[in-house]
Amino acid sequence: MYDFAYHRPSSVADAVKLLASDPDAKVMSGGMTLIPTLKQRLARPSAIIDLSGIRDLVGISVSAGAVTIKAMTTHAAVAASAEVKKAIPALAAMAEHIGDAQVRNRGTIGGSIANHDPAADYPGAVLALGATVHTNTRKIAADDFFTGMFSTALAPDELVTAVEFPIPEKAAYVKFPNPASRYAMVGVFVAKGPAGVRVAVTGAGANGVFRHTAMEEALAKNWSPDALHDVGTAEEGLNGDIHASKEYRAHLVGVMAKRAVAKAG
């Protein structure tokens, strides 16, 4: 990797100050994407602002209607949380199958959604559950947060501080992993709750996570796998690569969605 300055602030305010003062600095949460990128010399930040020293950014809380997960909470912590398992079991189960054990112990929810890798799992949960993304300056609705592949509504000096998930009545996530990388080649998160019926597809879309409105409408009328039988998925806007054509991905969206609905019960 190239040389860079390293900062490990202990507060969000300090982190934001550092970030605002250096447009070429990069924020690091778990580093699960950033460190490999640095090692391959694909990024050349002037400085790394490591958020792992900010204790305020770690933790899970559950209120009557919502689960709030602070940004630096690891996937392993979410997967192991008895409170999350009770309130939104689909979310804990999803976290339990991100990457491998090493990734789950380093990777964080804030890092995952701020990076918005199109094959990441968390964006599916955030969008399907109609979560609210808390930052150091504002609250952003999930529908407004993801703006494209590796792109979000975050301003350059804005940090995710927490994600607030309304507790759904039913939810489940099923993914088809890429055979090689094991990232989601197609992942479908379905939820029925305060925000209505929502279906989010990750892994498949060339622009990152998206809502499948045709499926939402069908499931709103009839919450069952059969309701999706005749609901197609347009190939336009999907990824195609050596592992899966657009056509196959579109097909898998349907299969994963049906399985997710069945799993949600």
Partner 1 sequence: MGFEGIGAAVRRREDLRFISGRGNYTDDINRPGQLHAVIIRSPHAHARIKGIDAAAAKAAPGVVAVFVGEDMAADNLGGLPCGWQVKNKDGSPMAEPPHPVLAVGKVRHVGDPVAVVIAETKGAARDAAELVSVDYEVLPAVPTLEAAQKPGAPLVHDGVAGNICYDWHLGDKDAVDAAFAKAHKVGRLELVNNRLIPNAMEPRAAVGEFDPASGDYTLYTTSQNPHVIRLLMGAFVLHIPEHKLRVVAPDVGGGFGSKIYHYAEEAIVTWAAGKVKRPVKWTAERTESFMSDAHGRDHVTVAEMAMDKDGRFLGLRVRTQANMGAYLSTFAPCVPTYLYATLLAGVYTTPAIYAEVKAVFTNSVPVDAYRGAGRPEASFLLERLVDICALEMGLDRVEIRRRNFIPSSAFPYQTPVALQYDSGDYTATLEACLKAADWAGFEARRAEAKKRGKLRGIGISTYIEACGIAPSAVVGSLGARAGLYEVANIRVNPTGSITVFTGTHSHGQGHETTFAQLIADQFGVPMSQVEIVHGDTAKIPFGMGTYGSRSLAVGGSAMVKAAEKIIAKGKRIAAHLLEASADDIEFKDGKFQVAGTDRAKALAEVSLAAYVPHNYPIEELEPGLEETAFYDPKNFTYPGGCHICEVEIDPDTGVVQVVNFCAVDDVGRVINPMIVEGQIQGGVAQGIGQALLETCVYDENGQLLSGSMMDYTLPRADDLPNIKVGTAITLCTHNPLGVKGCGEVGAIGSPPAVIGAVVDALKDYGVRHIDMPATPHKLWRIINANRPRMAAE
Which residues contact partner 1 by CB under 8 A?
Answer: 2, 40-41, 176, 178-181, 242-245, 248, 251-252, 255
User: What minimum distance in Å lies between the beta carbon of 67 and partner 1?
Assistant: 30
User: What minimum distance in Å lies between the beta carbon of 175 and partner 1?
Assistant: 11
Nearer to partner 1, 93 or 250 (CB): 250
User: What minimum distance in Å lies between the beta carbon of 65 and partner 1?
Assistant: 36
Nearer to partner 1, 221 or 243 (CB): 243
Nearest to 58 by CA among 76, 32, 33: 76
3-state SS class at 191: strand
Nearer to partner 1, 179 or 265 (CB): 179
Nearer to partner 1, 2 or 230 (CB): 2
User: What minimum distance in Å lies between the beta carbon of 181 and partner 1?
Assistant: 4
Distance of CA 134 to the CA centre of its chain: 14
Q: Is 220 exposed, middle or buried (CB count within 10 Å of its CB: 0-12, 13-18, 19+)?
A: middle
Q: For 139-142, which contacts have Cβ atoms below 8 Å and span 24 or more sequence positions? A: 139/164
Beta pairing class for 47-50 and 25-28: parallel
User: What minimum distance in Å lies between the beta carbon of 186 and partner 1?
Assistant: 10
Nearer to partner 1, 143 or 241 (CB): 241
- Cβ-contact 94, 181 below 8 angstroms: no
State the number of CA atoms in the 13 A half-sphere of 241 facing the CB: 14
